[in-house]
Amino acid sequence: MNDVLRQPISEIKGVGEKFQEQLQDLGLYTIEDLLFYFPFRYDSYETKPLTELAQDEKATMEGQVVSEPVLSFFGKKKSRLTFTLQVEQFAVKAVMFNRAFAKKQLNPGDTVTVTGKWDQRRLQITVSQFKKGEAKSQEPIQPVYTLKEGVTLQRLRKIIKSAIDEYGEEITELLPEDVQRTYKLPERPKALKQMHYPESRVLLKHAKRRFIYEEFLLFQLKMQLLRKHHRESTSGNAQSYDNNRLTKFVQTLPFELTGAQKRSLAEILKDMKQPHRMNRLLQGDVGSGKTAVAAIALYASITAGKQGALMVPTEILAEQHYQSLYKMFEGRANVALLTGSIKGKRRKEILDAVAQDEVDILIGTHALIQDEVLFNDLGFVIVDEQHRFGVKQRRTLRDKGLHPDVLFMTATPIPRTLAITAFGDMDVSVIDEMPAGRKPVETYWVKGEMTNRVLSFIQKEVDAGHQAYVICPLIEESDKLDIQNAVDLYHQLASVFEPDVPVGLMHGRLHNDEKEEVMQQFARNETKVLVSTTVVEVGVNVPNATVMVIYDAERFGLSQLHQLRGRVGRGDDQAYCILLADPKGDVGKERMRIMTETTDGFELSEQDLKLRGPGDFFGRKQSGMPEFKVGDMVHDYRALETARKDAAEMIMDDLLESDERYRALKEAVYADQSLTGNVLD
């Protein structure tokens, strides 16, 4: 790295105090920041044949003025100038607003080049810029930067241009020569100029390719080094579990583990035995048997004399996990439940028991990370539906033990594309196989007008002894409306079904004990139809429910639809998912189509990613997805994959440490502050 480039922006001619502050608002402090502030798009003044232009495209065209410009005034100070321009064999109508002065400059017979918004249907261009003369003499591709109030595009362009002219040559190469040669990447200083002022589309493409690779490679190196560091560090517990007891325990389970479960379990147990701290993500579709694997791992930890904790996002889920683990561990381990609604004397008893090592496994919600919760010796931590917790919350729980092993679980299958970046510093186990005998949920997409037939289908299934979920429309950003909707739909369905078929209602505003009661009634088969908002999304198990109806399904993302669908199909009977939807756009239709065609969560998540882009994928920022400046994880997936492989090889061969040619790269890896490292940790 270069000290010259580390100088403040004020070193550049023409940057005064005020401008410096404005640039700082854009996150630009040093000359280097400015040089690497890349355009988010380019205005191209290259001309194209008219027939190749799209409706509303910003276009540049050269033509001859063939009519005397007509000027008209409207409003207070507004004007419109119109004239006809002969472009190729077409007569194009040019319209220019509020530039009355141009009338004098434009005369029939003149050649002009105009830029503006193209209306293909009316052969009309709304001109934003014009110059006399041929198109060739114009500067072809102009950078467009993200701006903040007070900074104009012209001003920013100018200052970046002078930064390039003055300091562009100070930029040093990061990539070793052979890497550059392998991928035919342009040199760094040259590529940087092309990023701002490309001489052609082709040169721009190569410059971008270079910086995308560089960005991904730095990221991958950093992540993989962190992971390696993790592995080699001995600040963890080597948990020496009792293999005999563990095997006996597994034999008491009412089923044989699937191959994928066995494989994941072996990976987890291997981590536990190592002296380093486990940092592993267990991924698997709803119902693939993650909880079973987690329970076995928890038991292993107990046989090693440690305590374990399982944190889940909702009380209902905590309760359900508690019930099933309590049964599973009966006579083998003490399991306790801690949630917000456990209060007073009972709470104190539990806390005391946890502190005195009388509780082996504590299951709960956010309640687990309160200060009052003290473990005697917490050795194993599991966080279920990890993306529902913030980074801080996950860390707080972890810090309740002395380097406990940590297992994250998620039923949101994460596309491979994202997993290798988002979890670059985590180990990942995947359960990609369902327990034998599960029948895939049959999924249908029907239009809103068919609602009555859907209701008779529910009646039919209920007559056969089964139960149904009905999920209400989701109204974005409004809890209140969501609940109103649920209440309305509940009354509507109750009037159809009751009294023969009892209907229940579930939504987020109910008190916890009310929710509990509603859920229990459904689980006990006392209510047959459960109208609900998406609060049932996570985890609760009612195997007798065979129908999942989702109203306005087009409003949900694929992953969420898939989660909801996962509530049914947990028993032996054939289950159905019915998507009521009238999607307007292509994306919505595509989503419905995909849902009806696959029940494979990983495939769905890949498709979801394509339709929505990585930013939206988890629906919230705290997911810790890295943000790239130049590269795009989805679009540039191949480059990401290449960078990942290259980084792995460089680390394996220890090139950063031992090869002089990798020195600049090494320095960049260690200097880069923008890479936050442990994204999920």
Exactly one of 40, 101, 255, 670 binds ligand ADP (CB under 6 A); that residue is 255
Cα-based torsion angle of the residue sequence 665, 666, 667, 669 in order, rounded to the nearest 10 degrees = 90
For residues 325 and 579, which CB has a smaller minimum distance to ligand ADP in the complex? 325
* Span of 161-169, 208-216, 255-263, 550-558 interacting with ligand ADP by CB under 6 A: 255-263
Exactly one of 196, 290, 403, 565 binds ligand ADP (CB under 6 A); that residue is 290
For residues 26 and 257, which CB has a smaller minimum distance to ligand ADP in the complex? 257
Q: How far is the CB of 470 from ligand ADP (least distance, A)?
A: 22
Per CB under 5 A, residues contacting Mg ion are 291
Contact 611, 586 (CB under 8 A): no
End-to-end CA distance of the chain: 29
For residues 258 and 365, which CB has a smaller minimum distance to ligand ADP in the complex? 258
Contact 165, 184 (CB under 8 A): no
Q: How far is the CB of 47 from ligand ADP (least distance, A)?
A: 58
For residues 364 and 424, which CB has a smaller minimum distance to Mg ion in the complex? 364
From Mg ion, ligand ADP, none, which one binds at residue 255 (CB under 5 to 8 Å depending on kind)? ligand ADP
Distance CA 202, CA 609 (A): 28
Distance CA 334, CA 224 (A): 39
Alpha-helical segments (H) within 312-415: 315-328, 344-355, 391-398
For residues 432 and 659, which CB has a smaller minimum distance to ligand ADP in the complex? 432
Exactly one of 60, 258, 307, 485 binds ligand ADP (CB under 6 A); that residue is 258
Q: How far is the CB of 483 from ligand ADP (least distance, A)?
A: 27
Contact 83, 134 (CB under 8 A): no
Which token pair is 367?
């309640």
Q: Site map for ligand ADP, 402-421, x if CB under 6 A?
A: ---------x----------
- Asked if 296 touches ligand ADP (CB under 6 A), the answer is no
Distance CA 24, CA 5 (A): 16
Distance CA 126, CA 134 (A): 19
Q: How far is the CB of 679 from ligand ADP (least distance, A)?
A: 24
For residues 47 and 291, which CB has a smaller minimum distance to Mg ion in the complex? 291
Applying the rule CB under 6 A, the residues between 101 and 140 that interact with ligand ADP are none
How many Å is the maximal CA-CA distance in the chain? Answer: 98
Beta strands, E only, 454-500: 467-471
Task: Specify the 3-state DSSP secondary structure of 250.
Answer: helix
For residues 327 and 584, which CB has a smaller minimum distance to ligand ADP in the complex? 327
From Mg ion, ligand ADP, none, which one binds at residue 307 (CB under 5 to 8 Å depending on kind)? none
Size of the site for ligand ADP (CB under 6 A): 15
Residue 534 DSSP code:
G
For residues 102 and 428, which CB has a smaller minimum distance to Mg ion in the complex? 428
Q: How far is the CB of 563 from ligand ADP (least distance, A)?
A: 10
For residues 116 and 284, which CB has a smaller minimum distance to ligand ADP in the complex? 284
Applying the rule CB under 6 A, the residues between 269 and 288 that interact with ligand ADP are 284, 286-288
Q: How far is the CB of 160 from ligand ADP (least distance, A)?
A: 51
Cα-based torsion angle of the residue sequence 297, 301, 307, 311 in order, rounded to the nearest 10 degrees = -20
Exactly one of 135, 225, 292, 361 binds ligand ADP (CB under 6 A); that residue is 292
Residue/partner pairs of 161-167 with CB below 8 Å, 24 or more apart: 161/196, 161/197, 162/12, 162/13, 162/14, 163/12, 163/31, 163/34, 163/35, 164/35, 164/192, 164/193, 164/196, 164/197, 166/12, 166/13, 167/4, 167/5, 167/31, 167/35
Q: How far is the CB of 22 from Mg ion (least distance, A)?
A: 50
Distance CA 366, CA 389 (A): 9
The contact set with ligand ADP (CB under 6 A) reads 255-258, 261, 284, 286-292, 411, 435
